[in-house]
Amino acid sequence: MKNLWSPWRSNYIESFKEKQSAGECIFCAAVEKDIKDMENLVVHKSKTTLVMMNLYPYNNGHLMIVPKRHLGSLEQITTEESHELMDEILLAEKVLQKIYSPQGFNIGANLGRAGGAGIEAHIHFHIVPRWNGDTNFMPAIGEVKVISQDLGETKKRLLAGYTEIHI
């Protein structure tokens, strides 16, 4: 087996150490954000959860579904939060399917630093749209991931998609 190293990814993960130790949590701060404000990444809120775009997306439309309460582990989630998290993952899949027509999805959570969590103090789930051939030589050789859409444009499309599907 051969290994491909991606040291640029560690820069991203390490960037959160200072913020976490200072007591700041981007997810807790996002709870108070207005969805319509184009300066933040929040695209949808429900009773116990919120959905926001990833500032460092793997692909266009990379979303995170987050409990509003600051929770560090799955065992702290209530039944209501658990059900709503799954409902919001399903809704996000529908919205992303409508907007981007991906050929697949990666859906999951990275729990703890060893599990790959960039922000480990507040659990969250990722949903990443995928297309055949979306992994190419750029990340492996060029150390660059090509994201073909501006985050502002992505947010506009997501807000429209949530409005159309959720109402």
Which residues are designated catalytic? 124
For residues 44 and 127, the answer to whether their CB atoms sit within 8 Å is no
Q: How far apart are CA 47 and CA 55, in angstroms?
A: 23
Q: Please say whether the dihedral angle defined by the alpha carbons of residues 39, 53, 96 and 51, taken in this order, is positive or negative.
A: negative
Amino acid identity for residue 148 in this structure: S
> How many alpha carbons lie under 13 Å from residue 10 in its C-beta half-sphere?
4
Phi, psi (degrees; rounded to nearest 5) at 49: -135, 170
Strand order in the sheet with 104-108: 42-45, 49-53, 63-67, 125-130, 104-108
